[in-house]
Amino acid sequence: MPAQAIKQSINIEEKVDKCRISKLTPQALGMVAEFFKVLSEVSRLQIVCSLKTGAKNVTEIIAETELGQANVSKHLKILTQAGIVGREQRGVCVYYHIANPFLFELCDLVCEALAIQVEQQSQQLQQLSKLRQGV
């Protein structure tokens, strides 16, 4: 096994040892699952992305996401109940903001992992294509 592969294997093992999720109770894992379930809807992710640049009211979110008013309101309620989004009354308007900025770090990690996965799949498809052409 090359030295680089051994080093990567050791780094992965260290990360697994530090992983707190493996020590959670089933109830706590349920909370984690609920958090991810809230983020598993495209419209909610659009709203979260809209709020990345700062607090917005419903009208501004609608304009940016092109989602309907009832849809935005429904998803904002879910995001607020999950603690992902916070709300603040400013005069007659309610402004929504991201309550946990770490959310964008999490999204960046997921995007990076997906980009690597897509690249690997692309390379595999190229290899299959070469094999097929060689037949």
- The domain locations on the chain are 3-100, 101-135
Using pLDDT thresholds of 50, 70 and 90, give the confidence band for residue 16.
Answer: low
Using pLDDT thresholds of 50, 70 and 90, give the confidence band for residue 88.
Answer: very high
Instruction: Indicate the CATH number for domain 3-100.
Output: 1.10.10.10
Helices (H), 26-101: 26-38, 42-50, 58-65, 69-81
Please tell me the distance from the alpha carbon of residue 13 to that of residue 28, in angstroms, as a whole number: 23
Residue 128: count of CB within 10 angstroms of its CB: 10
Residue 65 · residue 43 · CB < 8 Å: yes
For the segment 41-84, what is each residue's pLDDT rounded down to a tens digit?
999 999 999 999 999 999 999 999 999 999 999 999 999 999 99
Using pLDDT thresholds of 50, 70 and 90, give the confidence band for residue 135.
Answer: low
